[in-house]
Structure formats: structure tokens, C-alpha cells
């Protein structure tokens, strides 16, 4: 079982900022911004592209959860990132949405 499957299943004690039947959200272990939350499907998909192909409703729910969390955290602007594939910086191969906020962000991204 992958690390995010274990978190979603409750095998690694983790505080969920948001949870539903299909998704959970928790703080990133190594935050890149004052607010850095990961929103993941409970079910294992390798990345967002696979999730989009198989279960677009749950992909949509990740965005809805991110919106709810951003409001809860009082973020006036935020960035949503899906690193998809190792060359794009993906290091955990269980689909996850990064919600980043609480500072200004540069564009283009690195
Ligand atoms: P990726 O690089 O795959 O887009 O993002 C993976 C993210 O997961 C990284 O930002 C990393 O800090 C975070 N991460 C990796 N392992 C754990 C963990 O065990 N717990 C939490 N909360 N975050 C993790
Ligand atoms: Zn997994």
C-alpha cells in the first residue's frame, strides 16, 4: 500500500482538514508555503491524468474540497498544482492536488 493510501485508510495517524467518502485533505509534510494542503482521492490512482480518465467526478471533488479549504483558511489567493509524472516533479505516485497559499507566487513556475 502506498504512503497516501495508508494516510487515507487511517493507518498513519493524520489530521484531516477535510474528509468525505471519496477524498481527504491534510497538511503537506514539507510545506512550500504558509498554507500547503494536499487533497487526495481515497482510492489509489497514479496521478491526476489517470484519475481524470477513470473517475472525473472525484477529480472534480478535489477542486471543490480545495475551494472549501481555501475559504476555511481565509486564503485570498492560492495556487493549485498537480505534478504529473516524474519530469514534472511528481514524487508520490498517488494522485494529489497541492493547495498553496499565504504568500505571493512567481510566474512562470520553476
Ligand atoms: P509531489 O512531489 O508528488 O507532487 O508531492 C508530494 C508531496 O507529498 C510533497 O510535497 C511531500 O512533501 C509530501 N509528502 C510526502 N510524504 C508525505 C507524508 O508522509 N505525509 C505528508 N503529509 N506529506 C507527504
Ligand atoms: Zn495510494
Q: pLDDT, tens digit, for every residue of 45-94?
A: 999 999 999 999 999 999 999 999 999 999 999 999 999 999 999 999 99
pLDDT at residue number 92 = 98
Is the pLDDT assigned to residue 34 strictly greater than 90?
A: yes
Task: Report, as an integer, the average pLDDT of 20-46.
Answer: 98
Q: What percentage of residues in the chain have a pLDDT greater than 70?
A: 100
Q: Which of 15, 36, 96, 98 is catalytic?
A: 96
Q: What is the per-residue pLDDT across 23-32, written as a single tens digit (0 to 9) for each?
A: 999 999 999 9
- Closest ligand to Cα 6: 2
3 lines ligand 1 (CB under 6 A): yes
User: Can you give the residue range of the structural domain that contains 27?
Assistant: 3-101
The radius of gyration of the chain from alpha carbons, rounded to an integer in Å, stands at 13
CATH of the domain at 28: 3.30.428.10
Distance CA 52, CA 79 (A): 19
Q: Check if 15 is active-site.
A: no
Domain presence at residue 51: yes
Domain presence at residue 106: no
Which of 29, 48, 82 for mutating ligand 1's site (highest number of atoms within 8 Å of CB)?
29
pLDDT at residue number 110 = 84
Strand ranges inside 14-108, DSSP E: 18-19, 23-27, 35-41, 78-81, 97-101
Q: Residue 43 has which C-alpha cell? A: 482510492
Report field, pTM of the whole predicted structure over 0.85: yes
Q: How many domains does the chain have?
A: 1
- Please state the atom number of ligand 1 nearest to the C-alpha of residue 92: 3
Amino acid at each position: 500500500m502506498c504512503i497516501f493510501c495508508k494516510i487515507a485508510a487511517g493507518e498513519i495517524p493524520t489530521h484531516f482538514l477535510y474528509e468525505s467518502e471519496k477524498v481527504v485533505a491534510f497538511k503537506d509534510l514539507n510545506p512550500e508555503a504558509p498554507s500547503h494542503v494536499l487533497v487526495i482521492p481515497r482510492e489509489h490512482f497514479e496521478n491526476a491524468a489517470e484519475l481524470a480518465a477513470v473517475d472525473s467526478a472525484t477529480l472534480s471533488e478535489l477542486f471543490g474540497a480545495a475551494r472549501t479549504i481555501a475559504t476555511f483558511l481565509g486564503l485570498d489567493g492560492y495556487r493549485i498544482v498537480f505534478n504529473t509524472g516524474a519530469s514534472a516533479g511528481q514524487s508520490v505516485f498517488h494522485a494529489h492536488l497541492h493547495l498553496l497559499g499565504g504568500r505571493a507566487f512567481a510566474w512562470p513556475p520553476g
